[in-house]
Amino acid sequence: MARRIGRRAVKFALRQRRAAPGVGGAILALATLACHQGEARLVLRAAWGPEDPITDLHITALPFDPDQILDSLVTLAPSPKPTFTELERELANYRRPDPGRFDEASRPWSALRDTVERLADSLNAMDRTVPSYGPMYDRFRRLYARLAQRAAESDALLRELNGEDVGLARRAQAAAESLRTWEREAFATYPDAAAVALARTERVVHEETTDTTGVAELELEPGRWWIVARYADPENPFQEYYWNVPVTVTRLVPVRLPLTRANTVWRWRH
């Protein structure tokens, strides 16, 4: 059965936009009102496909829509929300470097290094007085000089490949810090608004985590709920999948709700 943790009703909001300040004892008292056993069963299955479950996904069930509150606070904010349209486009298009690109950058140097090493082994085993030693040694010196040049070229290319990621990460960090500064002011009253919304429902917040099959079950009070979860994109460190899915549960039959790409939002993970 899901853990029923009232105090996280507002702590959850801090994760929503990472902005609102801490919550006082009065809010925690409001969050622990309802202690009766849940009567409606909600079965969630998070998956990218039939054979691709999303495991260990933390799910929160709220009796109010947190995004609606946050959106209303945006309209009341003393200053406009910072926008980074071009940067967000770059972040969305980012892909982790293909390991093959690094292999390609170092392949010419690696091949020449192997040749130089084999030639060095041959020279070490050769009698220096034989006529063929001199020409072979000259070839070794030429290849060794070329090896140093290839190493410099390879290092420069690797720095360029790494530099692309580092530069983008720094710009993303600066933009995120600017956005969080704005959110701390704009969403400062979120805890109070969330406490009021929670008190009106006379319910508590429920939490659960999906198992190895991507399934999580919740026992909820009958009525309207918002199922919220987030999942870091394994292919893009700047993005996340975000769910905020409304659902109505009753005592009559268990309700099954899928969490998939079809009902998620792919967004900047700032």
β-sheet bridge partners, residue 231: 241
Do 208 and 240 belong together in one domain? yes
Do 244 and 215 belong together in one domain? yes
Instruction: Return the CATH number at 66.
Output: 2.60.40.10
Do 54 and 167 belong together in one domain? no
Q: What is the pLDDT of residue 155?
A: 58
Query: What is the CA 195 to chain-centroid distance, rounded?
Result: 28
Pick from 95, 149, 92: nearest CA to 269:
92
Give yes or no for residue 53 having a pLDDT over 80: yes
Do 154 and 222 belong together in one domain? no
Do 76 and 157 belong together in one domain? no
More confidently predicted of 69 and 269: 69
Do 117 and 66 belong together in one domain? no
Do 22 and 154 belong together in one domain? no
Supply the range of the domain harboring residue 100: 90-183
**Helical axes 85-93 vs 133-186, angle rounded to 10°:** 130
Last residue of a domain, one of 183, 209, 241: 183
Do 71 and 96 belong together in one domain? no
Do 35 and 115 belong together in one domain? no
Do 75 and 18 belong together in one domain? yes
Do 51 and 167 belong together in one domain? no
Count of C-beta atoms within a 10 Å radius of residue 3: 11
Q: pLDDT, tens digit, for every residue of 3-30? A: 444 444 444 444 554 434 433 333 433 4
Rounded Cα gap, residues 265 and 241, in angstroms: 6
Taking the CA of residue 201 as centre, how many other CA atoms within 13 Å lie in the half-sphere pointing to its CB? 24
Q: pLDDT, tens digit, for every residue of 214-263? A: 999 999 999 999 999 999 998 888 899 999 999 999 999 999 999 999 99
Q: What is the pLDDT of residue 72?
A: 95
Do 77 and 192 belong together in one domain? yes
Helix (H) or strand (E) holding 248: strand 239-249
> Domains in the chain: how many in total?
2
Q: What is the pLDDT of residue 229?
A: 95
**Which ranges constitute the DSSP H helices of the chain?**
8-17, 25-31, 66-76, 85-93, 99-125, 133-186, 190-201
Last residue of a domain, one of 183, 198, 226: 183
Give yes or no for residue 133 having a pLDDT over 90: no
Last residue of a domain, one of 125, 151, 183: 183
